[in-house]
Amino acid sequence: MALILGLESSCDETAAALVESDGTIRAHKLARQEEAHRPYGGVVPEIAARAHVEMLGPLVEAALEEAGVTLDQVDAIAATAGPGLIGGVMVGLVTGKALALAANKPLVAVNHLEGHALSPRLGDQSLEFPYLLLLVSGGHCQLLLVEGVSRYRRLATTIDDAAGEAFDKTAKLLGLGFPGGPAVEQAAMRGNPRAVPLPRPLVGSGEPHFSFAGLKSAVARAVNDYSAEDLAASFQQAVVDCLVDRTRRALTSVTVQPSALVVAGGVAANKAVRGALETLAAEHALRFVAPPLWLCTDNAAMIAWAGAERFAQGLTDPLDTPARARWPLDPDAEKVRGAGVKA
Ligand SMILES: Nc1ncnc2c1ncn2[C@@H]1O[C@H](COP(=O)(O)OP(=O)(O)OP(=O)(O)O)[C@@H](O)[C@H]1O
Ligand SMILES: [Mg+2]
């Protein structure tokens, strides 16, 4: 059994966790920075990086104390090495390197997206490779065939905005505040999902990818004609329809039989999204797996777990491993057209 310390600092959550290789979470600590960013309506990279510097040390200490262990009893230190806001990534990775050097422990440099992608196996270790993963977060919207640890085949990605980004921009347009996804979900509960006619970009299209920019623009055009609740509900329904249609296409075109349909990333915390994907999986007689809500948004338990999976395979990294703003899970995937293309 190995005990892994995980560090996360790629966006606006600072987190430290201790996870064992059998999936036992010994401690997880997280500090949000919402209040610091709220006046700006979005994450300010410089403010985020400075907050990570202040918070990470105390969170590591608190995690070790909660687990009742010292750094000497940890087997490896896993830190997010990208992708993300580079200042924040550097804080977490340099902290991980310093702890690894001081305690003479191996470093595991974790791709934050691999943290999301393997997080369903932390909650449910009976989940076997390969599985079809819909990764829907603030920066990404991808369908991936997860063939194993560090083995990903990207089947689809967004040609413009990520789904979480669309939630956040819609929340801003509707005056629902920051962070946007949960606020839109709350408002949607009081609205009519059929009230506002909104487009479903690329639904039914022969190409595999996602697009959300046109949907966001349509919300902007309708903003004076409908209530925020009806707009939120109609927007959320349109996103759900896009996600389901594109995932259905992937399920029917993928050449190997996946063991399950899996959803991960911040938008996977959305109950309408989870419910619709569960129905889709049932239609295909497939198991559906979604991590518990707290494991969907950024946290260090998923980083420690990805570290544990990599460590078990002997995958450790040198202390000169660089921090990376961009780091695709499938480096062989072809580039897709469109501005602002995500990895
Ligand atoms: N209940 C919800 N409904 C819809 N969206 C949500 C919900 N909860 C969180 N989100 C969205 O999830 C995103 C945050 O997820 P996550 O923390 O995984 O993203 P990130 O780390 O910023 O991006 P990435 O993982 O791609 O680098 C935000 O865009 C947020 O609006
Ligand atoms: Mg994330």
pLDDT 10s digits, 146-204: 999 999 999 999 999 999 999 999 999 999 987 799 999 999 999 999 999 999 999 99
CA of 202 to the centre of ligand 1 (A): 22
**Ligand 1, atom 20: closest residue by C-alpha:** 138
Q: Do 3-116+295-312 and 129-293 show the same overall fold?
A: yes
Summarised one tens digit per residue, pLDDT across range 97-106 is: 999 999 999 9
Structure tokens given for 281: 């999986």
Mean pLDDT score of the chain: 95
Contact between 187 and 234 under an 8 Å Cβ cutoff? The reply is no
Which residue's CA is minimally distant from atom 12 of ligand 1?
A: 266
Distance CA 8, CA 91 (A): 9
**Ligand 1 atom closest to residue 139's alpha carbon, by position in its atom list:** 26
Q: Is the pLDDT of residue 39 over 90?
A: no
Q: Is 84 in the pocket of ligand 1 (CB under 6 A)?
A: yes
Instruction: Identify whether the C-beta of residue 110 lies closer than 8 Å to the C-beta of residue 79.
Output: yes
Distance of CA 89 from the midpoint of ligand 2 (Å) = 12
Report the candidate in 217, 211, 195, 285 with the shortest Cα–Cα distance to residue 243.
Answer: 211
Domain ranges within the chain, ordered by starting residue: 3-116+295-312, 129-293
Measured by CA distance, the residue closest to atom 31 of ligand 1 is 181
Task: Compute the CA torsion angle 104, 107, 129, 207 (nearest 10 deg).
Answer: 180
Confidence (pLDDT) at 343: 46
Per-residue tokens: 127? 């989940």
Instruction: Please state the rounded mean pLDDT for residues 32-60.
Output: 90
Residue 307 in contact with ligand 1 by CB distance below 6 A:
no
- Residue whose CA lies nearest to ligand 1 atom number 27: 139
Does CATH number 3.30.420.40 belong to domain 3-116+295-312? yes
What CATH architecture does domain 129-293 belong to?
A: 2-Layer Sandwich (3.30)
What does the DSSP assignment read for 195-260?
SS----TTTT-SS--B--HHHHHHHHHHTTTS-HHHHHHHHHHHHHHHHHHHHHHHHHH-SS--SE
Give the mean model confidence (pLDDT) for residues 51-63.
Answer: 97
